[in-house]
Amino acid sequence: ETEDLENTKITTPVASASDPEPHSSPHRPQMVSAGSEDATEDLRKAAGAVKAWALDQGSLPADQAQVLNKMAKYQVPQRSGDIVMIQSEHTGTIDVLSADLESADLLGDHRKVSPPLMAPPCIWTFAKMKEFKSKLSKDKNSRLVVKRGEVVTIRVPTHPEGKRVCWEFATDDYDIGFGVYFDWTPVTSTDITVQVSDSIEESRGDMTGIWEVADPVPVGDVERGSRSSLRSRYGEVMPVYRRDSHRDVQAGSHDYPGEGIYLLKFDNSYSLLRNKTLYFHIYYTS
C-alpha cells in the first residue's frame, strides 16, 4: 500500500481525482504528457492502485470510483498530444477528453483568427453650427430624433470607389454618445441603413455572443467610454463617448481597413428624459 501511494503522487491528475479539495482551479484544464505506451500503462496502474487502496479503506465515493474506472480504461492516443482532464465546478466529477484539442473543440471561438487592429480615426470639430444645421434641415434623411433611452446605429458599407469614410454631426441643446465600429463582412449593397434600438445592449443584437468586456468600465457607460473588445469579425474604431455635439459640429474620418460595414452608433441610452435631435452627414471619399 505504501508503494502504491507513492506511485500515485507521481501522477498529479490521478491524485487530484481522489482529493476532495484539489489545489488547482476547477476551471482550468489539467495537462499531463501522454505520448507513449509507457504513459498509458503508468496511468492504468496508478488509477488501479488508487482505486484498490481507496476501496480497501472504504472511503471512495461511488462517483469518483466511476471516474477512476474511466481513467483506467482510457486509451491514450499513440500520437503525441495531451490528455485533458476537467473537473466539474458543480459535481466535482472529472471528464477525460480527447487528446486532440481541435477535435474536442475545447478552444471554441478562441481558435479563430482575430481581426487586425484598427488604425485610429482622424477627428476634429468646427464651429459653424447654424450653417450646418440649416443645410441638413432641408434633407429629411439627414435629420432624425434619437429618443430617450434609444441607440441609433447607422450602417455604412465601404464603397468600391472610396478609400475613406467621413462623418459630421450635431445636436440641438444637448450632447449625445458616439462611437464607431467595423464589421468585417462581405458587402452586398452600398445602401446606408438606420437601426433603432431601445438600449446599447439591444443595439448589439447583431453582435450576440462576440462582445467581451476588456476592462472594468461598464459596457454602456458613455461618460467614461464603452471600452470593449470585439472578437471574431468586429473591430473597434472608436469607443462610445459623450460628445459636445450641441456646442460644435463633430467630424471625423477613417481609412478603409478593407471590405466591410461601418457601424456609427449614436447613444442616448443614458438619458431618461430628453430626446436628442440629430443632424448628420455621412459620405465617402477616394
Q: Which three cell numbers stand for residue 166?
A: 467621413
The answer to whether residue 216 scores a pLDDT higher than 50 is: no
In a domain, 248, yes or no: yes
Could you give the 3-state DSSP secondary structure of residue 24? coil
Nearest to 167 by CA among 185, 187, 181: 181
In a domain, 218, yes or no: no
In a domain, 134, yes or no: yes
The answer to whether residue 104 scores a pLDDT higher than 90 is: no
Q: Range of 257's domain?
A: 122-201+232-285
In a domain, 36, yes or no: no
- pLDDT tens per residue, range 36-86: 566 556 666 666 665 666 566 555 566 666 655 655 555 544 555 555 566
Asked whether the CA dihedral 208, 213, 218, 220 is positive or negative, the reply is negative
- How many domains does the chain fold into? 1
Higher local confidence (pLDDT), 149 or 52:
149
Strands of 82-87's sheet, edge to edge?
A: 30-33, 82-87, 94-97
In a domain, 106, yes or no: no
CA distances from 215 to 75, 140, 229 (A): 42, 39, 9
In a domain, 82, yes or no: no
In a domain, 276, yes or no: yes
What confidence score (pLDDT) does residue 198 get? 79
What is the pTM assigned to this prediction?
0.55
The answer to whether residue 257 scores a pLDDT higher than 70 is: yes
Nearest to 263 by CA among 205, 183, 206: 183
- Confidence bin at 269 (pLDDT 50/70/90): very high
> In CATH, what number is assigned to the domain containing residue 138?
2.60.120.680
In a domain, 137, yes or no: yes
**Beta-carbon contacts of residue 38 (< 8 Å; ≥ 6 apart):** none
